[in-house]
Amino acid sequence: MFFDFVKSKSVPIFNRHKKITIRLAMYDNLSYWEKKNFFHADVIIVGSGIVGLNAAIAIKTLAPKTTVLLLERGFLPSGASTKNAGFACFGSISELIEQEKISGTDGLHALISKRWKGLLKLRNLLGDAQISYQNNGGFELFRPEQASLSEKCVAKISHFNALIEDIVLQKNVYVQADEKIDVFGLKGIAALIECKLEAQIDPGMMMKALLAKASSLGVQILNNCNVEELKVESNGVYLKTNQGAFTCKKILLTTNAFVNELLPELEVVPGRGQVVVTKPIPNLKLKGTFHYDKGYYYFRNIDDRVLLGGARNLNMKAEETTAFGETELVQEALHTLLKEVILPETNFEIEHKWSGIMAFGPKLTPIVEEVQPHIFCAVRCNGMGIAIGSQTGQEAGEMVFKSLNA
Ligand SMILES: Cc1cc2nc3c(=O)[nH]c(=O)nc-3n(C[C@H](O)[C@H](O)[C@H](O)COP(=O)(O)OP(=O)(O)OC[C@H]3O[C@@H](n4cnc5c(N)ncnc54)[C@H](O)[C@@H]3O)c2cc1C
C-alpha cells in the first residue's frame, strides 16, 4: 500500500493519571472526505512560481475538466518569483555580447524573440495595471575603468538594434544616453547605454494576479506542502510530502533552483541573489532599471526608494547555494555602490534585505521535458523568469496536456 510509503510521525503517549492530548500528525487524522477530495488530481504541479502558475493556467485553459493541484512548500510562493527585482528586460548590450558567444547570432535572435514575446504574453494575460508595468527605460552603466567594455558595447549597438528590429518592430532601441548620467544623479559613471523598451514591474502584484487567475480557473493550490519523494507506479505517480501522500496521473516539477532535491541528474546550478531596498528618499532622481558590471549588479527605483541587488560574482562559489541568507562581502559591496555611485550626495538607510535563488545552467534555454515516464519538469529560467516564465509555463502545460491525452 502506498500509505506505507509515508510513515506515521505520531508518537503514542501513555499516562494513567493525566488526561492526555495526543497531537496527531495532520495526515493521521484525515477524514474520508479530505482523502477523497484533496489528495489526488490528474496533474500535480510542484512549485507555485511564475512557471508553475502559468503551466496550471495553460492546462486548465486547454482542458477545464482536468483536475490540477499545485503544491507549494512555502507559506507564500518561496522561490525567485516573489523575491526578484522586477526587471521586464530582454538583455543589456554586455549581456547580449556574452550570450551571442554561447548561442550564436541566430540562437540569440531566437532567445530575444522568446523573451520579448514572453513579456507581451505576461502583459496580455494579466494586464499592465495588474503588474504595475512601467516603461521607464533600462540603462547599462560603465565606470571610467571599464572604458574598453564600454567601447565594445557602444560599437555593438547598431548590430543589436538590427538584430531585434523584426522582433520588437522598432528601430534604434539601444542608444547612447550619457547625458542622463547627471539627470539620474549618478557619480563616477563615464557612459550610459539606454534600452528604450526595458520596463519594470511589481513581482508581488504579478504573483497575486497569477494566483488569482489560476484559482479562478479551478486550480487548487495548497501551501506549506513540501514534496519530499516521488515514486512512479504502473497507475500513476505517488508523492510523499510533509502533509501526507498524494497521487496523480502526471506530475510537473517547477521547483526551479531546488529541482535537484527531487531530480539530482538535471543540470541546474543555483545562484543566490541578495537584494536591499532603501528607506524612501526625498526627490529621488533615479528612474528606470539599471545594469552594472555585465548585469552582476542591478538597481531600480521603487516607491521613492532604491532597490539594489547582485554582487554574486564576488564569490560565485559561495553564492551557488539554495540556502537563503546574506554575506558580509556582498552586503558591503552593495552598500558601497549605493554610497559611491547611486546615491553619492544623499543620506540613505537600508530598510529591507532579502535573498532569492535563481537557477542557471550551461545553456541559456530552460529545461522543459519529460524526464521520466509521467514526470515532467520546467525549470532553469536563467535569471530572466519575468520575460520567459509565462511562455515556459505554457509550453510545459501543453506538454503535460498532450501526454494526458496520448
Ligand atoms: C534576487 C533575484 C532577482 C531577480 N531579478 C529578476 C528580474 O529582474 N527579472 C527577471 O526576469 N528575472 C529575475 N530573476 C529571476 C526570476 O525571478 C526567476 O527566473 C523566476 O522567478 C523563476 O520562476 P520559477 O517559477 O521557475 O521558480 P520559482 O519562483 O523559484 O518557484 C519555485 C517554487 O517551488 C517551490 N518549491 C521548491 N521545492 C519544492 C518542493 N520540494 N515542494 C514544494 N514546493 C517546492 C519554491 O518554494 C518556489 O515557490 C531574479 C531572481 C532573483 C532570485
Instruction: Give pLDDT tens digits for 78-107.
Output: 999 999 999 999 999 999 999 999 999 999
> Nearest CA to 290 among 189, 202, 390?
189
pLDDT exceeds 70 at position 366: yes
Is residue 60 in contact with ligand 1, taking CB distance under 6 Å?
no
Q: For the chain, what percent of residues have pLDDT higher than 90?
A: 88
User: Which ligand 1 atom sits nearest the alpha carbon of residue 381?
Assistant: 19
Three-class DSSP labels, the chain? CHHHCCCCCCCCCCCCCCCCCCCCCHHHHCCHHHHHHHCEEEEEEECCCHHHHHHHHHHHHHCCCCCEEEECCCCCCCCCCCCCCCEECCCCHHHHHHHHHHHHHHHHHHHHHHHHHHHHHHHHHHCHHHHCCECCCEEEEECHHHHHHHHHHHHHHHHHHHHHHHHHCCCCCEEECCCHHHHCCCCCCCEEEEECCCEECCHHHHHHHHHHHHHHCCCEEECCCCEEEEEEECCEEEEEECCEEEEEEEEEECCHHHHHHCCCCCCCEEEEEEEEEECCCCCCCCCCEEEECCCCEEEEEECCEEEEEECHHHHHHHHCCCCCCCCHHHHHHHHHHHHHHHCCCCCCCEEEEEEEEEEECCCCCCEEEEEECCEEEEECCCCCHHHHHHHHHHHHHHHHHHHHCC
- Whether pLDDT at 14 is above 80: no
Q: Which atom of ligand 1 is nearest to the CA of 378?
A: 26
Mean pLDDT of the 189-211 span: 98
Q: Which CATH superfamily is domain 41-82+205-267+366-404 in?
A: FAD/NAD(P)-binding domain (3.50.50.60)
What pLDDT, on a 0 to 100 scale, did the predictor assign at position 18?
55
Determine which residue's CA is closest to atom 37 belonging to ligand 1.
255
47 CB under 6 A from ligand 1? yes
Atom 2, ligand 1: which residue's CA is nearest?
84
CB of 270 shorter than 6 A to ligand 1: no
CA 293 / ligand 1 centre spacing (Å): 23
The cell 516521488 sits on which residue? 230
Is the shortest distance between the CB of 92 and ligand 1 below 6 Å?
no
Report the nearest atom of ligand 1 relative to the CA of 366: 26
83 lines ligand 1 (CB under 6 A): yes
Distance 43 CA to ligand 1 centre (A): 21
For residue 1, is pLDDT > 80? no
- pLDDT, average across residues 300-315: 97
> 112-148, pLDDT tens digit by residue?
999 999 999 999 999 999 999 999 999 999 999 999 9
Delimit the domains of the chain by residue range. Answer: 41-82+205-267+366-404, 90-199+269-360
Whether ligand 1 lies within 6 angstroms of the CB of 54 is answered as: no
Q: Does the Cβ of 273 fall within 6 Å of ligand 1?
A: yes
CATH topology match: 41-82+205-267+366-404 vs 90-199+269-360: no
Q: Say if ligand 1 is within 6 A of residue 312 CB.
A: no
Tens-place pLDDT, residues 208-261: 999 999 999 999 999 999 999 999 988 889 999 999 999 999 999 999 999 999
Report whether residue 393 contacts ligand 1, using a CB cutoff of 6 Å. no
390 ligand 1 Cβ < 6 A: no
Return the ∠ at Cα 356 (arms to 44 and 330), rounded to 5°.
165
The pLDDT mean for the chain works out to 93
Does residue 3 carry a pLDDT above 50?
A: no
Examine the pLDDT at 186 and tell me if it is beyond 60: yes
Q: Whose CA is nearest to atom 35 of ligand 1?
A: 47
In the reported structure, the alpha carbon of residue 233 is separated from the centroid of ligand 1 by a whole-number distance in angstroms of 30
Check pocket membership of 397 for ligand 1, CB cut-off 6 A.
no
pLDDT of 11 strictly over 70: no
The predicted pLDDT at position 178 comes to: 97
Q: How far is the CA of 102 from the centre of ligand 1 (A)?
A: 23
Q: Is the pLDDT confidence value at 16 over 80?
A: no
Give me ligand 1 centre to Cα 379, in Å: 9
- Is the beta carbon of 73 within 6 A of some atom in ligand 1? yes
Task: Tell me the C-alpha distance between 307 and 281, whole Å.
Answer: 12
Q: Which atom of ligand 1 is nearest to the CA of 384?
A: 11
- Please name the CATH architecture into which domain 90-199+269-360 falls: 2-Layer Sandwich (3.30)
Q: How far is the CA of 261 from the centre of ligand 1 (A)?
A: 15
